[in-house]
Amino acid sequence: MGIKDNPVKRQLLIDAGMGDMVKKAMLGICPLCGKPASIEDCRDDLSRREFAIAGICQKCQDEVFE
């Protein structure tokens, strides 16, 4: 379950000082690059799972997890 579906996880991240990143992910904006992000842009199940958890776009996932 990702941050959009889990208010407890969202609050934990906010309390940990990641409120700006949570807000971006909730708005469909990649918290790393600030560009629009959509699960439809993810190329496989693993990428879609990561997107659901953190809202990170495919391009940033590629860079972070190379």
Q: How far apart are CA 54 and CA 50, in angstroms?
A: 6
Q: What is the pLDDT of residue 3?
A: 76
Per-residue confidence (pLDDT) for residue 30, from 0 to 100: 95
Please report which confidence band the pLDDT of residue 1 belongs to, taking 50, 70 and 90 as the band edges.
Answer: low
The shares of helix, strand and coil residues in the chain, as percent rounded to the nearest 5, are 60, 5, 35
The average pLDDT across 3-23 equals 87
Average pLDDT value for residue range 15-34? 92
Ramachandran region, residue 28 (left: φ > 0; alpha: ψ -120 to 50; beta: rest): left
Distance CA 34, CA 41 (A): 15
